[in-house]
Structure 1
Amino acid sequence: MIEIERKFLVISNAFKAEATSQTKIKQGFLNTHPERTVRVRLKGEQGFLTVKGKSTSDGTSRFEWETQVSKTEAENLLKLCEKGMIDKTRYEVLVGNHTFEIDVFSGENAGLIIAEVELNHVTEVFKKPLWLGDEVTGQSQYYNSQLSKRPYNTWNK
């Protein structure tokens, strides 16, 4: 279960007109060790527990395991998480043969918008929409686990 993805900043809200869905997400981290993260997520009415391994040196790939848990279990696990919650709205946009997941952060990370695209292999070619900005793949400060510790609104921009 290797996840291969690339991340980009988003430079306009044009993606919203193309979105096929939008879902509120609240997530926290039971563990944010550099070798592994353990995430609890409430996505709409569904709960998830996810374990992610350390990223490759270029940041494109890492082990990921996820299982669904009940909403109540997720809510209870969120109470055990490390300090710093992530609140965001996820939009899904189909571009060519790929689905981009665009996260519009709120709370302490308001102002940050990141698009992710999952790939089948590292060198896979994909269409880049006009609203896609600079690539931030592998830049750890954009990982949700790091945003929970050092929110976007604390950065010197």
Structure 2
Amino acid sequence: MGMEIEKKYTVKNLPDDLGKYEYHLIEQGYLNVHPAIRVRQEDDHYYMTYKGAAGVVAKEEYNMELDEASYKHMLKKADGNIITKKRYLVPINEDAFTKEYLEMHADDARALEDGKIKIELDVFEGFFEGLIIAEVEFPSLEASDNYHPASWFEKEVTGQKEYSNAQLTTLDKFVVEKT
């Protein structure tokens, strides 16, 4: 069993130098929404994921490797909309944590130094074109509680079901809200 500790944010503006960051092409479909059971292709990697209770910062998550044929077979069985997106891996903002916090939490400081805490910037395509969500996964609940969001984030939407990928697949139509 794994635990995912994550916060989600809407985005005011994209980083100016977005093209320089590594990214993954993702396609995914949901076999079930509650609990979330999805199949995903990320570049040339295929897997099925079970995610526990939505709407919380920390939830259980299990992944199982798939081959391409199994993925394609299950994707045909997915309900609703198929999600396609580019996921950019953006370094965490320099002011993410205070110096004092990092001095008191060596494991989190080490994860930060090792590049294990990063911003995953999802730029949706296809049916959800125009939607942009930033996610930050943390090594601990304390790190998530002490994180200072990047200046280019707009608002935190962690736990808001309308920003859940599983929930998005159930929509009949999609309109990006302009702020």
Please give the TM-score of this superposition, normalised by the length of structure 2. 0.77
User: Retained in 1: the 8 A contact 2:130–2:176?
Assistant: no
Deviation at 1:154, TM superposition (A): 4.1
Deviation at 1:131, TM superposition (A): 1.6
Stretch moving more, 86-95 or 65-74: 65-74
Question: Does 2:156 correspond to 1:145?
Answer: no
Question: Does 2:2 correspond to 1:24?
Answer: no
Deviation at 1:16, TM superposition (A): 4.7
Give the number of the structure whose alpha-carbon radius of gyration is greater.
Answer: 2
Looking at secondary structure, tell me which structure has more helix per residue. 2
Which amino acid letter does the alignment assign opposite residue 48 of structure 1?
Y
Q: Which residue of 1 aligns with 2:108?
A: none
User: Retained in 2: the 8 A contact 1:50–1:64?
Assistant: yes
Structure 1 vs Structure 2: percent identity of aligned residues? 32
**Equivalenced residues, count:** 153
Question: Does 2:41 correspond to 1:42?
Answer: yes
Map 1:25-104 → 2, pairs under 5 A: 25-33=26-34, 36-55=35-54, 59-95=56-92, 96=94, 97=112, 98-104=117-123
Deviation at 1:155, TM superposition (A): 6.5
Q: Which residue of 2 aligns with 1:117?
A: 136
Deviation at 1:122, TM superposition (A): 2.2
Looking at secondary structure, tell me which structure has more strand per residue. 1
User: Retained in 2: the 8 A contact 1:84–1:149?
Assistant: yes
Partners of 1:136 and 1:39 lie apart in 2 by 21
Deviation at 1:153, TM superposition (A): 2.2
**Closer/same/farther in 2, CA of residues 13 and 30 from structure 1, 3 Å limit:** same
Gaps of at least 5 residues in structure 2 are 95-111
Partners of 1:149 and 1:50 lie apart in 2 by 18
**Closer/same/farther in 2, CA of residues 151 and 101 from structure 1, 3 Å limit:** farther
Q: String of CA shifts for 1:51-86, please: whole Å, max 9, x gaps.
A: 011136xx2111100122122221221111112111
Question: Does 2:147 correspond to 1:126?
Answer: yes
Deviation at 1:107, TM superposition (A): 1.4
Gaps of at least 5 residues in structure 1 are none
